[in-house]
Amino acid sequence: MDPQEAVKRYAHAWSLTTEADIRSALAECWAEDATYTDPSTDPVVGVDGLTEHILGFTRQFPDVTMAPTSGLDAHHLVGRFSWLMSSPTSIVADGVDLGTALPGQDFVEFTEDGRIRRIVGFFG
């Protein structure tokens, strides 16, 4: 798989709301033992772990959308891209009002066949 396509499918998974749809979006782009980590969670592993994390996110923030704001900047088997979390109402996490737009950046490692092996995300 092309890394650009893998990131596109991964990002799309964050806009889905059902387990089946999220799992389907991740199935081709996410390596079996891939990990995801951001400031709000310990590492989650595999399609099952990330599917559950995304479902929890959509339950906690039902009106929030996530969208890439840059293309993938990649070399060798690593890359990065920026994104924006936005909402019509304030995003409140752990009692902190983050406003209606929160930018972030994900750092990505890929497998030899172009699937995602690891994502480490940062807010702000």
Share of the chain above pLDDT 90, in %: 78
Q: pLDDT digits over 5-44, tens only?
A: 999 999 999 999 899 999 999 999 999 999 999 998 899 9
Residue 56 Rama label (left phi>0; alpha psi -120 to 50; beta): alpha
Per-residue DSSP letter, 124: -
pLDDT of residue 93: 81
What pTM was estimated for this model as a whole?
0.90
CA distances from 102 to 59, 83, 105, 109 (A): 18, 9, 10, 23
Q: Which domains does the chain have, with CATH numbers?
A: 3-123 (3.10.450.50)
Q: Token pair 């092309």 is at which residue?
A: 2
What residues form DSSP beta bridges with 74? 79
What residues form DSSP beta bridges with 103? 84
